[in-house]
Amino acid sequence: MKVLFDHQVFSSQVYGGISRYFCELMWGFAAAGRPDYEVSVRYTKNAYVRDLSRKNIPCLATYGLGRLLFRRSAINQRCSEHTLAARGFDVFHPTYYDPYFLSHLRGKPFVLTVHDLIHEVFRDSGAWEDGVRENKRVLIGRAAQVITVSESTRSDLLRFYSVAPDKVSVTPLASSFHRLPPQRPEQTIPERYLLFVGQRRRHKNFLFLIEAIHPLMRQDASLHLVCTGDRPFRRNELDLMARLAVLQRAHHLHVCDAQLAWLYRHALALVFPTLYEGFGLPVLEAFACDCPAVISRTSSLPEVGGDAATYFDPENGSSIRDAISSVIYDSQQRQTIVQRGQRQLERFSWDRTVRQTQAIYESVLL
């Protein structure tokens, strides 16, 4: 059996949960010696593909074209179309929702992974969001099998789309951070900080977090907030933090995974105020680095965090402050949830994800 992955997420992501997921599948397939696979991407700036290449794990890629994302995507799509036309594969696994490949399959089955239902839960009026929803609808209907990364996402998918329940399988994600040697960032890091990880899109609830924690930061003059992600603070974020007098204690860092692991290990807590997650990889990353996780009680997060996280209502400022305070000012509570985090981490394994995914590939060929 040979599986073909396409270019989509590798054309757009440098870091991110979706590209990490596909690279972990490739890592696992290479380690097990099966199934055979190919990824049809010619140019990429993705960090996980670079790591695979450094370890001599097969992954077709050349680093170039700088910031020309549109050009990179167009060239990569032609590469994917050419590989599809050669028909040297048994199962196709697209890495996002563009249905460009449907006319090239000519009877070959494809498996689709749905990572979340953000575009459905948070329905914006933009044409791009409408296009993603329509593309997803088409692909869910045409896929031989659909994978979701949590039971919560599976339930959401069955709620929003007309699809047979036995067509949808769950393969949970896992943490990759146990393989990382922590590396201190080059920037100056405050001694006591809360850590916010990832992009700050609307559903990530970042502005409300600032509103919620600024009284805590005023009471505790040594408390800082460190944020990671590709983009520096936006003007509206800067204006809010300045108005609330916490701007000088909010820091944005662009870091690699090894540096992020260091930040987890030295943070007072991960604070994850999201309104919706398809899975919530930062929770497992925090557990892997002995970092207490203080997170929203919403969507998939209780499924991932279990009894190892401290939860809050992401739309209630007092709930957020109380949850954070219970962890950062109570050493016994902190130690308890760190120990629970290590136990909860054992429930998630990339090896298991790889095996389950391989079984799904085999099932669509029967």
Q: Which CATH architecture group holds 178-345? A: 3-Layer(aba) Sandwich (3.40)
CA angle (249 as vertex; 268, 331 as ends), nearest 5: 20
Helix axes 206-219, 235-243, angle to 10 degrees: 30
* More reliable by pLDDT, 67 or 337: 337
Residue of 168, 217, 183 whose CA lies nearest to 328: 217
Q: Hey, what are 246's tokens?
A: 């916490």
What average pLDDT does range 175-185 have in this prediction? 90
Residue of 250, 305, 103, 282 whose CA lies nearest to 176: 282
Q: Is the pLDDT of residue 295 over 70?
A: yes
Residue with tokens 């296009």: 131
112 forms bridges with which residues in the sheet?
146
CA angle (301 as vertex; 299, 307 as ends), nearest 5: 135
Q: Is the pLDDT of residue 195 over 80?
A: yes
pLDDT confidence of residue 73: 84
Asked if 322 and 311 count as a contact pair (C-beta separation under 8 A), the reply is no
How many CA within 13 A on the CB side of residue 9? 22
Sheet containing 310-312: give its strands across.
Answer: 250-253, 224-228, 193-196, 269-272, 293-296, 310-312
Q: How confident is the model at residue 57 (pLDDT cuts 50, 70, 90)?
A: low
Q: Tell me yes or no: is domain 2-174+349-364 CATH 3.50.50.60.
A: no
As a whole-number percent, the residues of the chain with pLDDT over 90 amount to 81
Sheet containing 36-39: give its strands across.
Answer: 36-39, 2-5, 91-93
- Compute the mean pLDDT over every residue in the chain, rounded to the nearest whole number: 92
Q: How confident is the model at residue 54 (pLDDT cuts 50, 70, 90)?
A: low
Same topology, domains 2-174+349-364 and 178-345? Answer is yes
pLDDT in tens, 28-50: 999 999 999 998 888 888 888 88
Q: Hey, what are 170's tokens?
A: 């769950």
For residue 35, whether the previous peptide bond is cis, meaning omega lies within 30 degrees of 0, is yes
Q: Hey, what are 126's tokens?
A: 């933009």
List the domain boundaries for the chain. 2-174+349-364, 178-345
What is the distance of C-alpha 149 from the center of its chain?
Answer: 10
Model confidence, pTM: 0.93
Report DSSP state, residue 148: E
pLDDT confidence of residue 316: 98
Q: Is the pLDDT of residue 23 over 70?
A: yes
pLDDT in tens, 212-249: 999 999 999 999 999 998 889 999 999 999 999 999 99
Q: Is the pLDDT of residue 58 over 70?
A: no
pLDDT confidence of residue 338: 96
pLDDT confidence of residue 325: 97
